[in-house]
Structure 1
Amino acid sequence: MTNAKSALAAFRAAVLADPAAAQYLAEPIRPDIFEARACAWAAAQGVGLSPAMLQDTVAEPHLLDALPPLGWLPAKMVQENAIEWLHFAGVVPNHPFFEEAVQEAAVRPLNRLLRLRTSLDTLIAAPRDPGFAPAGFVFHMSRCGSTLVSRMLGAAPGQVSLSEPPPLDALVRTPFADIGYQVEALQALVHAWGRGADRLFVKLDSWHTRALPLLRRAFPEVPWIFLHRDPVEVLVSHRRMRGMHTAPGVIPLDWFGLPPEDATLPEAEFVARILARICEPAMAHAPDGGLVVDYAALPDAFFTRILPHFGIVPDDAARAAMAAAAGRNAKAPDTGFVPDRDAKQREADAAIRAAASQVRAALGPAALSPSALPR
């Protein structure tokens, strides 16, 4: 066992010193292919590694004192404010949700063998490219086309668009005694995601509008958009399948500035109250680098408003790739997009239509688009 641990430690050190080798070893999904590659490569480095060592060893998390090289991305927050890293070779992180890409990468044999972690202090202290900044943030009221926009942004070559990455949510919602430290951690995390990308976009969780002051402090120059939709249609969507933020007890109500007794409100009224609390800060901060976009204007507004707001002039290939993404179901890209506005409007009952009024009030003039007017 000692020899196995020594060999695996030497193997880990050699892989971390050779990004090209890490890419090569992280690609296989099948364990037998990985074992053959790993043993042959290790032998060439003078490391005696056997298939039995790879099969019988339960990897322990290894805390690094520096960031792993390009190819590894922050994947999750673990205990004691540590970051777990995964190598994403062959896994495009532009999934409908970042967690799906993490799950795909996590089963790669290399990631099961090398469980790499860094502390937040190490992440913050790591050198950064002073010229890097995320290209844009996507905020949204939920169920309003944000996944579509994220998928379109990530469709162009060289552009990475992460959709609701859990480590960012963990940093945003964890109470820090030192806000300055929290700001530095957010900056370092997003920078680490952008390594190797021409442009990085991040779609945040809908409830992150409540953290706009914090996020604007961390990224004051980054342009952002806020997507909204006719509240009637959003409320119908949540009636069909509740989002975690609209299920009482999942996200504390004080995050939304609501008292605990609101959890006993009728469903439509409760969900509308949550949606209103999501919209209010977005509308208040919109003059500070924000662009408000109605779902009804998509996908055309993506090209006429969103890309110009992010300072992007796509070439023909990028435009074609983005347009192709618009024709697919954003959450199930293997299927085509089917409009559902009319069905949701027909499904809305009097309770939903009454509750929608408080969301329209939170949106203010933005709610006066044709899609948001009562029928």
Structure 2
Amino acid sequence: MEGLNLQGWLPIRVWQEAGQWWVDWCWFGDKPLSQPFFGDAVEDVLRLPFNQAFRRQTPLHALAQWQHQSPGLAPSAFIFHASRCGSTLISQMLAQLDDHIVISEPPPLDRLLRSDLPAAERCAALKGLLSAYGQPRRGVERRLVIKLDAWNIGELSRLRECFPDTPWLFVYRDPLEIAVSHLRRPGMHMVPGMIGPSVLDDGVPYTGPEDFIARRVGKLLQVGLEQCQALAAVAVNYTELPEAMAGRLADFFQLDEAQRRQAFATVGRHAKQPAQGFTGDSEEKRREASALLRELVMRWAQGPYEALKSLPP
């Protein structure tokens, strides 16, 4: 691995095989990551003829070696969220800024956070991974923001072992609206067994999709609440968006006046589907909710939601 040069390459997958951990890299060159999710960006660059002909795979320890040879930007902020609650809107607004690298829900990060690697080895790999994502590939980048998967709120302590000083926020929303969104189109963590063991598991048999989703939304909000209370973190309600990006969130992300204006250039678009216009859909979701879903959300999720709303700004 002497003289390792991975400039322009980003890790797109980590996996374990026969007791050995490996990293799959893909060539991005200086292409900015403007898509709503890291997986979308990976799909785009995998279509390039170069990436269809050439791939690079390295042992996991190459992440730490590359970090030593070419340190990337340290993460400036982490975004945690309860899912379907505006976190993608925030990350897409930040992605408009030339000096920001925004990595949204990269699968390798989730894989390492929930791995059974020894703590020191896991931390070294996590630091190396985020250093790789923080490489200034265009030469103008100054800040690195990472948006995690919703269930990664359960791995916050593991992330803070490696990055104790990096500020983080938790974005949340009325649980009935989150639940309706997942009933329409379930996220991975709202499909039984799809993401494997996580903080969302409660070991209680479920009676149907409404019950399963309501309990998982409640668990997300409860764990987010507990972490915010324990660490005096910033909690952001969906109802504050996008205006908060010109106020307290602009302060949180250390945006100047010009950056605040530039960030709002994306507000007229749908966060997850940029080709479509963005409009609030809270009332539509609430009208769609069945009596059963309302009852289950009230039982499992309303309490932590109200407690989150009562936290100091």
Work out whether the TM-score is over 0.5: yes
Shift of 1:112: 2.5
Which residue is 1:356 aligned to? 297
Choose from 205, 210, 227 the match for 1:285. Answer: 227
Deviation at 1:147, TM superposition (A): 0.8
Pick one of 45, 51, 70 that aligns with 2:7: 70
Partner residue in 1 for 2:167? 223
Report whether the alignment pairs 1:250 with 2:187.
Answer: no
Give the drift of 1:157: 1.0
Q: TM-score, normalised by structure 2?
A: 0.89
- Which secondary structure does the structure 1 equivalent of 2:10 belong to? strand
Task: Percent identity, please.
Answer: 35
Match status 1:296 vs 2:234: no
Q: Distance in 2 between matches of 1:297 and 1:141?
A: 15
* CA displacement at 1:114 relative to structure 2: 2.5
Q: Tell whether 2:81 aligns with 1:140.
A: yes
Distance in 2 between residues matched to 1:209 and 1:129, nearest whole Å: 29
More helix by share: 1
Instruction: Quote the residue 2:134 is aligned against.
Output: 194
Q: Tell me the distance in 2 between the aligned counterparts of 1:309 and 1:67.
A: 36
Q: Partners in 2 of 1:86 and 1:68 — Cα distance? A: 13
What is residue 210 of structure 2 aligned with on the other side?
Answer: 268
Query: Aligned to 1:147, what secondary structure does the other structure show?
Result: helix
The partner residue of 2:26 within 86, 98, 108 is 86
Which residue does the alignment assign to 1:162? 103
Q: How far apart, in 2, do the equivalents of 1:66 and 1:350 lie?
A: 63
Report how many residues are paired. 301
Answer yes or no: is the 8 Å Cα contact 1:139–1:205 preserved in 2: yes
Deviations 1:54-78 (A, max 9, x none): xxxxxxxxxx555433211112224
Deviation at 1:323, TM superposition (A): 0.4
Which stretch shows the higher mean deviation, 78-87 or 184-193?
78-87
Deviation at 1:254, TM superposition (A): 5.4
Distance 1:269 1:67, change over 3 A: farther
The change in CA–CA distance for 1:92 and 1:130 in structure 2 (over 3 A counts) is closer
For residue 76 of structure 1, give the secondary structure of its aligned residue in structure 2. strand
Kindly provide the amino acid, as one letter, of the partner of residue 28 in structure 2.
F
Deviations 1:12-55 (A, max 9, x none): xxxxxxxxxxxxxxxxxxxxxxxxxxxxxxxxxxxxxxxxxxxx
Q: Tell me if structure 1 keeps the 8 A contact 2:8–2:30.
A: no
Q: TM-score, normalised by structure 1?
A: 0.75
Aligned-partner Cα distance in 2 for 1:123–1:66: 13
Deviations 1:186-235 (A, max 9, x none): 11101110010311111100000011111111111111111000111111
Give the Cα separation in 2 of the matches to 1:235 and 1:293: 18
User: Structure 2 stretches of 5 or more lacking a match?
Assistant: none
The secondary structure found in structure 2 opposite 1:270 is: helix
Indicate the RMSD between aligned Cα atoms, in angstroms: 2.1
